[in-house]
């Protein structure tokens, strides 16, 4: 699977060979973001997010622009649903990262 965006801790990258780094790396990201497209069916994308978490992703954000909803998936916790949050931020493993959502919720801004 390939997410819309991902982040991998440096320690994971350090374990890869030079050759592995030149290709699609054989690892599970620590953090992923998925943004639904008009053709996506929400139940299918939510199952994909559950698969990410089941395979070791620590944090995953699913952004449903049509419904202006963010779903936060965390390893070992229930999914959190947020209605039109202005931003998502400050969680391990990406503490300090802030994603402003105004342009996703309203692309005509």
- What is the per-residue pLDDT across 54-104, written as a single tens digit (0 to 9) for each? 999 999 999 999 999 999 999 889 999 999 999 999 778 898 999 999 988
Q: Are 84 and 74 in contact (CB under 8 A)?
A: no
40-48: average pLDDT: 93
42-60: average pLDDT: 95
Model's pTM, two decimal places? 0.89
Residue 32 phi, psi (nearest 5): -135, 155
| Per-residue pLDDT band at 43 (split at 50, 70, 90) | very high
CATH number, domain of 55, equals 3.90.1570.10
Whole-number average pLDDT of the chain: 92
Residue with tokens 């998925």: 34
Tally of structural domains, the chain:
1
| Per-residue pLDDT band at 38 (split at 50, 70, 90) | confident
Confidence at residue 35, expressed as pLDDT on a 0 to 100 scale: 94
Confidence at residue 25, expressed as pLDDT on a 0 to 100 scale: 85
The DSSP element (H or E) to which 13 belongs, if any, is: helix 10-14
What domain range is 76 assigned to? 5-105
Confidence at residue 84, expressed as pLDDT on a 0 to 100 scale: 96
């Amino acid at each position: 699977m390939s997410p819309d965006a991902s982040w991998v801790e440096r320690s994971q990258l350090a374990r890869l060979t030079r050759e592995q780094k030149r290709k699609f790396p054989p690892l599970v990201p620590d953090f992923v973001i998925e943004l639904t497209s008009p053709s996506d069916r929400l139940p299918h994308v939510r199952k994909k997010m559950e698969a990410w978490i089941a395979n070791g992703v620590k944090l995953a954000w699913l952004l449903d622009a049509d419904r202006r909803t963010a779903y936060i998936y965390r390893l070992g916790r229930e999914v959190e649903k947020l209605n039109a949050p202005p931003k998502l931020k400050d969680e391990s493993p990406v503490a300090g990262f802030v994603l402003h959502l105004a342009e996703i919720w309203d692309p005509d801004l």
